[in-house]
Amino acid sequence: MQQNSSTPGTREESTRENGYFVPTVDIYENQKEVVVIAEMPGVGSSGVEVTLEDDVLTIRGTRKEENREARLILQEYETGDYLRRFSVAETIDRERIQATMKNGLLTVILPKAAPARPRRIEVKPG
Amino acid sequence: MAMIRFTERPPFRNPWAEFERIRQGLDELSRNLSREGSSPRGGSVFPPLNIYEDKHSLLIRAELPGVQVEDLDISIEGDTLTLQGQRSHAPAGENISYHRREIQDGTFSRAIALPARIDTDNISARLVDGILTVRLEKADVARSRQITITTE
């Protein structure tokens, strides 16, 4: 997970100099819900922010810097914030969205709204 | 003296053309590398490590999102630290269709050659928020010592 891609999928810019990491995700769907799982190692449940605004689901994770007192002799990953956005279909029941953070994996459950029932409109003779 | 007959002489070539061709090739190569750099994370080695060293200890950090403590095994043999484990986060439901599948499952194993002799009785490891931190104290022989310089 190395690459620091700057502001993925968005035109807004961070005030901090470093860009954002794009977390790898799994997205799957069953009959009841859509589930998004994102890898965000180093982010605790207090550092994660999930928002749904105008059909755009935004996942943002804030990660603490690692201590730099000791000398770094091998670096294979960098620390920074995570950001990724997805557009969400309108058939999601927004009131019941749940998000949990465990072992560096974020799970967002987006329940599908009950399908709109066809309604028959009676036509009365005038 | 070797003689070249006029008709056998190679046709005139621009001596710089070859350099130009090499330069174009390098440009293309660096373009490809930078494009790769902007792709979502997903490296070739798992887990990625950061190793820190100070006077008395070594600190090894590994990014292990989704790995449970019971699925992780750390062992040390001589100067080699081995990290082994497995990860399985796949849902156990039916009628599932994937839209994206970027997170990889399976077993992993990584052996790390330690840069210093360490005290094998004094190792601690913690797994918090998907980050493993292994702290190894250096053995007495490997610690750095200040040498005082005297002058006469």
Q: Are strands A33-39 and A25-29 parallel, antiparallel or unpaired?
A: antiparallel
Q: Do A5 and B98 touch (CB under 8 A)?
A: no
User: How high is the ipTM of this complex?
Assistant: 0.73
Answer whether B25 touches A (CB < 8 Å).
Answer: no
Q: Do A105 and B65 touch (CB under 8 A)?
A: yes
10 Å CB burial of residue A102 (0-12, 13-18, 19+) is: middle
Q: What share of chain B is helix, strand, coil (3-state, %, to 5)?
A: 20, 40, 40
Answer whether B131 touches A (CB < 8 Å).
Answer: yes
* d(CA A60, nearest CA chain B) in Å: 15
Nearest C-alpha neighbor of B127 from the set B75, B72, B85, B82:
B72
Q: Which residue has the higher pLDDT, A12 or B97?
A: B97
Answer whether B88 touches A (CB < 8 Å).
Answer: no
Res B126: pLDDT: 93
- Chain A residues in contact with B48 by the CB 8 A cut-off are 1-2, 76-77
Res B11: pLDDT: 61
Res B127: pLDDT: 93
* d(CA A38, nearest CA chain B) in Å: 8
* d(CA A49, nearest CA chain B) in Å: 15
Which range, of A8-12, B49-53, B68-72, B106-110, averages the lowest pLDDT? A8-12
The answer to whether A7 touches A22, Cβ cutoff 8 Å, is no
Q: State the Cα–Cα distance between residues A124 and B78, nearest whole angstrom.
A: 90
- Chain A residues in contact with B38 by the CB 8 A cut-off are 3, 5
Nearest residue on chain A to B90, alpha-carbon basis:
A26
Percent of chain B, pLDDT > 90?
Answer: 36
* d(CA A118, nearest CA chain B) in Å: 25
- Chain A residues in contact with B39 by the CB 8 A cut-off are 3, 5
Q: Do A25 and B100 touch (CB under 8 A)?
A: yes
DSSP annotation of B22 reads: H
The answer to whether A72 touches B52, Cβ cutoff 8 Å, is yes
Res A10: pLDDT: 47
Residue pLDDT, tens place only, B130-150: 999 999 998 888 777 788 888
Q: Do A26 and B89 touch (CB under 8 A)?
A: yes
Q: Indicate the Cα dihedral angle A88, A93, A96, A100, nearest 10°.
A: -20
Which range, of A71-85, A90-104, B39-53, B115-129, averages the lowest pLDDT? B39-53
Which range, of A54-68, A73-87, B12-26, averages the lowest pLDDT? B12-26
Res A9: pLDDT: 47
* B6: Cα within 13 Å, side-chain hemisphere: 0
Res B60: pLDDT: 93
- Mean predicted lDDT score pLDDT of chain B: 81
